[in-house]
Amino acid sequence: MTFSRGSEPATPVSLPPLQGRAGVAHWIATVGLFCMPALVLTLPQNLLPYGILLLLSTLLAPDYLWRARGLAGRPVKVLAWLVVAAIAFALLSIHLFEQGLRDIDNRSRFVVIPWIALWVCALRPDIRWLWAGALAGLLGTMVLSILQVAGGAPRADLSTNAIVLADIVLVLMVLLVFCRPHQRWTWVIVGMVAGCVTIVLSGSRGVWLALLALLVVMAMSLRWRTGRARLGVLLALVAIAGTLTLTIPSLREQVRLTELKHDVVRMERGDSDSSAGARVERLQVAYETFLDHPLTGVGIGHFDSAMQRLPVCRDDPSEQRCHLGHAHNDLAEWAATQGAPGLLLLLAIYGVPLWVFTGLHRRSGEQTFRGPAAAGIMVVVTYVLCGITQSMFAHQITASFYVTIVGLLAGLSIVQGNTRRLALARAQAQAQASG
């Protein structure tokens, strides 16, 4: 899967040095690249510090961003069309159901994707700061989670909720693994351990599949012995972790395995008033709602109105599980609220960036599965897998983090590919001159 001819400049673009106000903007962008992953969970303001730095550096050098369009090429144009589609479908939904603009708040965040990609292409912050920020974010989040649980909280959730905390931590682990500089495996292992500790303390079970996918891809992409040996070591570690989880009562309680067992028993008795039962119930509601409203759904952000088809929700307006705000599943959420067009849009929101990153990775010059494009692929995969048990775009932080990281990694991939092609062209020119 590659981009068609003309998707990027035919020849590498020689980039001028960043001096004066552009140099100041470059350093602000570098600080922003570090702060984004470092502060997203450790501060209650989440991405606000990064957003301020993004805006400030953009205002310092807007002409550089405009000229970066030539370097950005078709990948950013494709992402821009995705933004147009996301906003257009959201506006159509609120028009059909006479909703307010507030209902498309999370979808409106998609507009930053091309902006951030151009920002990276123009100001060229070093990817090593993104990696360092991810490491700092994982360590800081672990410390805060330990303090929270030690203070009596049943689950770590910091300034968000436990499920979102685990989802974002897993994406930080993706950045840590695939954006790593050379010879930094010690810190990668430290960060991975910190991430796993936080996930355990969060008690979130929805990230397990995505975590396993990350570990498998990481093991298979390493240059150590054979693929079979790496996979064997990984399976052994997973088996050890599983054994510890099942045999240590306090650990089993923290990851909520006992609760899951009780939930299954209650579902077998017809009781859906539990964590697992509510999810199954919402899937059934989403399916029935989609059949009733296949073209429009019930309106963006209004899944709770679909829950009114349940007698318990009609009879008891205060029933908590009737007012969770979303379906706890991406497919169910988009199908029930926007119908078939919503399903197609969700496919594009994940599929288009996946296609873009795959093409960028093939043109990156990387010999192994690493670098910003590889990280972008794994971010999309992580969101898809976490979306099985969570509505990833129903929460401000997960929606904002997705559009931010897609824009950042797209820009970093473009700059990396251009830099390597430029170095190759110069080496070939020198060889011809000396010959």
Which strand (E) or helix (H) includes residue 266? helix 257-268
Note the pLDDT of residue 2.
44
| Total of domains in the chain | 1
pLDDT exceeding 70 applies to what percent of the chain?
Answer: 84
Note the pLDDT of residue 95.
85
Distances 25 to 122, 267, 338, 352 between C-alpha atoms, Å: 10, 56, 41, 30
- C-alpha span between 119 and 64 (Å, rounded): 8
Q: Is residue 57 part of a domain?
A: yes
For the ranges 7-11, 69-73, 103-107, 125-129, the maximum mean pLDDT occurs at: 125-129
Q: How far is CA 402 from the centre of its chain?
A: 4
Of 318 and 92, the structure prediction assigns the larger pLDDT to 92
Q: Which amino acid is at 276?
A: A
Q: Domain range for residue 136?
A: 21-255+327-431
| Helix axes of 372-386 and 162-178: crossing angle, nearest 10 degrees | 160
User: Which of 16-20, 257-261, 297-301, 384-388 is predicted with the least confidence, judged by mean pLDDT?
Assistant: 257-261
Of 146 and 216, the structure prediction assigns the larger pLDDT to 146
- C-alpha span between 39 and 401 (Å, rounded): 12
323 exposure class (CB count in 10 Å sphere: 0-12, 13-18, 19+)? exposed
Q: Is residue 302 part of a domain?
A: no
- C-alpha span between 91 and 418 (Å, rounded): 37
Q: Is residue 125 part of a domain?
A: yes
Q: How confident is the model over 91-107, as a mean pLDDT?
A: 80
Model confidence pLDDT, tens digit, residues 126-174: 999 999 999 999 999 999 999 999 998 888 999 888 999 999 999 999 9
Q: Is residue 86 part of a domain?
A: yes
User: Which of 50-54, 111-115, 204-208, 268-272 is predicted with the least confidence, judged by mean pLDDT?
Assistant: 268-272
Q: Is residue 351 part of a domain?
A: yes
Say if CB 343 and CB 334 are below 8 A apart: yes
Q: Is residue 178 part of a domain?
A: yes
Q: Is residue 282 part of a domain?
A: no
Model confidence pLDDT, tens digit, residues 286-303: 899 999 999 998 988 888
- C-alpha span between 62 and 118 (Å, rounded): 10
Of 229 and 24, the structure prediction assigns the larger pLDDT to 24
Cα–Cα–Cα angle for 403, 408, 410, rounded to 5 degrees: 95
> What is the chain's length?
435
Q: How far is CA 430 from the centre of its chain?
A: 42
Note the pLDDT of residue 12.
72
Q: How confident is the model over 20-44, as a mean pLDDT?
A: 95
Say if CB 271 and CB 277 are below 8 A apart: yes
Tokens of 122: 């123009």
Q: Is residue 283 part of a domain?
A: no
